[in-house]
Amino acid sequence: MRFQTSKIQHGFRSAVAAASLMLAGAMSLGSLPNTAHAAGGMVADPAGVAPDRYVYYPGTEALAKDEVRVIACGTGMPDARRAQASACFLFEFGNGEKMIFDLGTGSMRNINALMIPAEYLTKIFISHLHTDHWGDLASLWAGGWTSGRPVPLKVWGPSGMTPDMGTKYAVEHFLKAYNWDYQTRAFKISPVPGSIEVEEFDYKAVNKIIYDTNGIRIRSIPAIHAGDGPVSFIIEYAGLKLVFGGDTSPNKWFVEHAKNSDFVVHEAFGTPEFFVKDYNQPPQLAWRACCEFHTSGPAFGKIMSEIKPRHAVAYHSMEEAIPGVRAGIRETYEGPLSMAVDNMVWNITKDQVVERMTVSPDRASGVPGPTRQPPPERGRPSPMSNFIKGGEWGPAFNAQSEMLDEHAKKYSLQDQDWRKQKPWYQSQ
Ligand SMILES: [Zn+2]
Ligand SMILES: [Zn+2]
């Protein structure tokens, strides 16, 4: 349940965010304005409860039909860090649909912490093919497969200047690279959840519909970043217009088509000096990286002042760069703003945009959905030879007998006892 007082007003969102970050165990962002409001609100007596903890506990709140929840599952840079994953935003819609927009390296740890059954995490939209935007496809693909996903994944992504620069090529070759993983899991579990369907669309398409199902309509616009191919997505649902921008430098398509949105996610990079001092980039690279093939704070602010969203979200900065990015944004934009960190969450309706922090466990486990995985495919050739099988050392296998007999009895698996075909098998 969500408390009535959870309407975080724009004016003190930053201070509340800073406090909540400490609650969530993350670092303080420093240099944020102090206000009288603290996360939790007033606690009226020593036995009282805080009216609003400014936190979201996954799996405890149903969405209203016309509501969207967006969770930042990765907001950082390409180089892996324990505290911050690369680009990933999970969109959850009031009609039950869930879609992942970018799936950067490290982000599956945050997605899995939400403890959503794997069968609901099958739709992935990729803005471009840098690893910090799709590097964790492997984790979702294999991890979901082993934790019960009964169906294939589906990926939407842009074409490229040539076929070998497009999403279809990337995913086909991803599956080739992971062929050993595929073949072994396909034999032991089921091949079905291991396939990936690709829906590749023209990266040059301007505001063309690439998805239109079940009340959700998604359009693509070109982005300008490193080479031809990158795009941003415009998502319409229940009268809301939401925008997910992948990597891009300031571009005319974004300014034109993201106008008057309810919720806009766009990258905002640290200053050139930050990339020299804190990111080990040579100065000649630092001022191009931040500001030629990405968008800096002042440029982000200029864009938002032009498109005037109900709420703007900046991401793609290391946490310690955020004060500098924010200062840059505030030179050119005064409107509603979140500086995204991993696990920040927004509930979006026509009436309000509420920002909070997700509180989720470090040691999440797989959660069952209603659908069971299909059984292994009959007649599929084994990826293991008799030479290797012949190396099984019976005494250790037989040492498990008591535990496995109990399991067989508990789940009525006696007629599927795999031990009976083994040369070392000794019945108790
Ligand atoms: Zn990129
Ligand atoms: Zn990136």
Based on the fold, state whether residues 320 and 408 are members of the same structural domain: no
Ligand number, closest to the Cα atom of 102: 2
Determine, yes or no, domain membership for 380: no
Cα of 225 vs centre of ligand 1, distance in Å, is: 7
The reply to whether 402 and 305 lie within a common domain is: no
Percent of the chain with pLDDT over 70: 90
Q: Are 351 and 392 members of one domain?
A: no
How confident is the model over 176-202, as pLDDT tens digits? 999 999 999 999 999 999 999 999 999
The DSSP result for 209-275, as a single string, is EEEEETTEEEEEEE--BSBS--EEEEEEETTEEEEEE-S--S-HHHHHHSTT-SEEEEE-BPPHHHH
Model confidence pLDDT, tens digit, residues 278-322: 999 999 999 999 999 999 999 999 999 999 999 999 999 999 999
Domain span at residue 415 reads 388-421
The answer as to whether 15 is a domain residue is no
How many domains does the structure of the chain reveal? 2
Average pLDDT over residues 235-246: 98
Please answer whether residues 314 and 337 qualify as being in contact, where contact means their C-beta atoms are separated by less than 8 angstroms.
yes
Q: Give the pLDDT band of residue 38 (cuts 50, 70, 90).
A: low
* Phi, psi of 356, rounded to the nearest 5 degrees: -145, 180
Q: How confident is the model at residue 227 (pLDDT cuts 50, 70, 90)?
A: very high
Instruction: Provide the greatest CA pair distance for the chain.
Output: 77
Res. 39 pLDDT band, cuts 50 70 90: low
Q: Which ligand is nearest to the CA of 230?
A: 1
- CA of 224, nearest ligand number: 1
CA 344 / ligand 1 centre spacing (Å): 21
Cα(30) to ligand 1 centroid in Å equals 28
If you measure from the C-alpha of residue 230 to the centroid of ligand 2, how many angstroms do you get, rounded to a whole number?
10
The closest of 28, 17, 41, 104 to 357, measured between CA atoms, is: 17
**Does the pLDDT of residue 23 top 80, yes or no?**
no
The residue that leads in pLDDT, 276 or 25, is 276
Q: What is the pLDDT of residues 315-345, one digit of tens each?
A: 999 999 999 999 999 999 999 999 999 999 9
Q: How far is the CA of 360 from the centre of ligand 1 (A)?
A: 28
Claim to verify: residue 206 and residue 350 sit in the same structural domain: yes
- Which ligand does the CA of 74 lie closest to? 2
Residue 416 makes CB contacts below 8 A (sequence gap 6+) with none
Contact between 39 and 52 (Cβ < 8 Å): yes
Q: 149 and 119 in contact (C-beta within 8 Å)?
A: yes
Residue with tokens 């934009």: 333
Question: Quick one: pLDDT at residue 340?
Answer: 98
Are 293 and 396 found together in one domain? no
Residues 6 or more apart whose CB falls under 8 angstroms from that of 196 comprise 141, 152, 153, 154, 155, 171, 174, 175
* Separation of CA 402 and ligand 1 centre (Å): 53
Expressed in angstroms and rounded, the spacing between residue 270 Cα and the centre of ligand 2 is 13
Ligand nearest to the CA of 129: 1
Q: Is residue 26 part of a domain?
A: no
Q: Rounded to the nearest whole angstrom, what is the distance from the C-alpha of residue 77 to the centroid of ligand 2?
A: 6
First to last CA, the chain: 52
Structure tokens at 421: 């075909």
* Residue 44 binned pLDDT confidence (cut-offs 50, 70, 90): confident
**Same domain? 209 vs 257:** yes
Alpha carbon distances (Å) from 209 to 67, 202, 216, 221:
21, 11, 11, 10
pTM over 0.85: yes
Same domain, 308 and 398: no
